[in-house]
Amino acid sequence: MTPFQNLLHLTDKLGVGHEQGVTLRQLALLEALYQSEGPSRIRIMAVQLGVVKPVVTRAVQLLVQQGFIKREGDALDLRDIWISLTPKGRKAVEQMRGAIYHA
């Protein structure tokens, strides 16, 4: 099994996968937020993931709908958005990390 197939298998096993509509790109965003240890700006996440801002914006919209991420506007710059993991999002990342560690 390739590493990509292994990740797909693990995400399906954890319930953080296709049936919930979470893509590997979204999982990468969840992991990046987890590592940031606090709120981060969408544009910073785009740079870290090596994608353009609209890609992250779309992923955030879907993850907010699913309850994995919360988003808040910046009081000083209305164009900027802060995102952070919800308890559900943190739990999903920790489960994924645990499954990968034990695989």
* Range scoring the smallest mean pLDDT among 13-17, 60-64, 91-95: 13-17
Q: Tokens for 98?
A: 């645990």
- For residue 91, give the CATH number of its domain: 1.10.10.10
> Using 50, 70 and 90 to split pLDDT, how confident is the model at 42?
very high
Predicted confidence at residue 38, as pLDDT, reads: 84
- Torsion on CA atoms 52, 66, 6, 24, rounded to nearest 10: -10
Distance CA(77)–CA(90), nearest Å, equals 27
Domain count, the chain: 1
Structure tokens at 61: 């919209």
Determine contact, residues 13/99, Cβ cutoff 8 Å: yes
Domain that holds residue 45: 3-102
What is the tens place of the pLDDT at every residue in 71-84? 987 777 767 789 99
Cα–Cα dist 18/47, whole Å: 26
Proportion of the chain above pLDDT 70, given as a percent: 72
